[in-house]
Structure 1
Amino acid sequence: MTTTPLARVDAGALRGRALRYYDLFMAAFVAILLLSNIVGASKPAMVTLPFYGPWVFGAGVFFFPFSYIIGDVLTEVYGYARARRVIWAGFGALLFYAVMAWIVVALPPAPGWPGQSAYESVFGNGWRIVLASMTAFWAGEFANSFVLARMKILTQGKHLWMRTIGSTVVGQGLDSLIFYPLAFYGLAGWPIEQLGQVIVSQFLLKTAWEAALTPLTYLVVNRLKRAEGLDVFDETTDFTPFGTKI
């Protein structure tokens, strides 16, 4: 990335300005959100920890936090309104996935094809998972972006680690608390004790994972700000989550 002089600007001043890497981060966010919900969300995994014993966690925990990291980067570099647009783009992609999964599962299989039961097992809960994800993400991701944007103003742009981790605690807490009960409560293979353990472990793991990646977040944010030549503050932003206006 080439560098240009860095300037502090209000988010509203970006209207009509060409942004070099915004679309790439939007694409990355949507891809990670989709794959985390399709591949990782449905499987509870287990490892045996020393001095603790079996520990159950959602298999997508290693990848889903990257969507929050990208959300932090988008809010920090481009402002809340553009992060909000990316979140709604992700919701649209999830909705398309849900419709597609429902149609594919419902179509009669060709005679002799043995994969229908596997398809139903993996994709049959698509609507429930997607609706749970959209509800949890509405609360979690918007809370994450709001907290980060407001903390940036309060800290005058200092202490990036404080606002990325602080916003993550709020966002991931809401996301884990909402998503797993809505998606899996009452399903076979998800007893209530295991569900509670997964909620707690998901929150702790996702928060710890994002905190561990703070140096990477610093690197990406600083390089991206220099490449775009700006440092956005949401001083006049309308923080409603309803809408995509920038």
Structure 2
Amino acid sequence: MQNILIQKKEIYAYTFLTSLVICGLASSLITAPKVVHIGINFPFSNIVFSILTYPIVDCICELWGKEAARYTVLLGLASQALIACIIQLSINSPYPSFWQLQAEYKSILSTGISVIVASIIAFFISQIIDITIYQKIKELTHGKLLWLRSNLSTYLGQAVDSIIFVNIVFLNSNQKLNILFGSILIKIILSFLMTPIVYLIIYILDKYLDSNTLAFKVRNGSLLPQFIEKTLLKS
């Protein structure tokens, strides 16, 4: 009975965190083309990515390991691709003559193919780097120095993400280097500010999941990877 309760809690926690990642990826389809200026220029989606994707994936990697984190990334990318298709279908579907907002609707929701492709490629590659570095540092430090692995893996992963995304989406822009610099800088700042939140999330979930290990140590015997392998991946 106790094992069943723990398993349910892990599934609830994993589902919640994965939902945040999917939300961040989905919103980037609409917010990515918007360039923000606050002394530096960067895509608005950088804010969402720095809050809802990289730190959350790090939390998943910390609690359940790199396989669960990679599964979250794949779920997020699949959801992003599906949402992009749904949006394009809604834009190009026939509409009646009394519908006067087609131009505005298309202008707001239409996302260029370059944005979609860049977002998927950049996130996939950068997350593989992020997860790999995070897990390697965790092993080398024996589960200590969470702040180091979270920030270092995120900085490197997001730098790669920005380089790929900006070079595809803003290829012909004379502001490309300016946007790239701003993109990397804002991600570093936000990732640093998210460090206490990462600690808080892991601490709360560690208590919620009744872990018998220390909050920032490898969680041996976690049931979630088994759940993914036996149930989701074989369904």
Tell me the TM-score normalized by structure 1: 0.78
Contact 2:22 2:76 in 1 (8 A): yes
Kindly indicate which of the two structures has a greater share of residues assigned to helix. Answer: 2
Tell me, in whole angstroms, the C-alpha distance in 1 between the residues paired with 2:76 and 2:112: 15
CA RMSD of aligned residues (A): 2.5
**2:17 is aligned with what amino acid?**
F
Distance 1:115 1:61, change over 3 A: same
Q: Deviations over 1:80-136 (max 9, x none)?
A: 000111111111111111211221221233214332222332333343322211100
Tell me, in whole angstroms, the C-alpha distance in 1 between the residues paired with 2:180 and 2:233: 34
Tell me, in whole angstroms, the C-alpha distance in 1 between the residues paired with 2:95 and 2:171: 29
**1:162 is aligned with what amino acid?**
L
Kindly indicate which of the two structures has a greater share of residues assigned to strand. Answer: 1
Tell me, in whole angstroms, the C-alpha distance in 2 between the residues paired with 1:38 and 1:134: 10
**2:116 is aligned with what amino acid?**
V
Tell me, in whole angstroms, the C-alpha distance in 1 between the residues paired with 2:198 and 2:7: 24
Question: Which residue does 2:180 correspond to in 1?
Answer: 199
Alignment equivalent of 1:113, drawn from 99, 111, 114 = 99
Greater RCO, 1 or 2 (C-alpha within 8 Å, sep 6+): 1
Question: Is the deviation greater in 81-90 or in 99-108?
Answer: 99-108
1:73 Cα offset (Å): 0.4
1:213 Cα offset (Å): 1.7
Structure 1 unaligned residues grouped into runs of 5+: 5-15, 50-54, 238-243
**1:199 is aligned with what amino acid?**
L
Tell me, in whole angstroms, the C-alpha distance in 1 between the residues paired with 2:112 and 2:59: 29
Tell me, in whole angstroms, the C-alpha distance in 2 between the residues paired with 1:80 and 1:95: 23
Matched position secondary structure for 1:45: strand
Question: Which residue does 2:149 correspond to in 1?
Answer: 163
Question: Which residue does 1:39 correspond to in 2?
Answer: 30
Question: Is the deviation greater in 196-205 or in 59-68?
Answer: 59-68
Tell me, in whole angstroms, the C-alpha distance in 1 between the residues paired with 2:36 and 2:168: 19
Structure 2 unaligned residues grouped into runs of 5+: 226-231
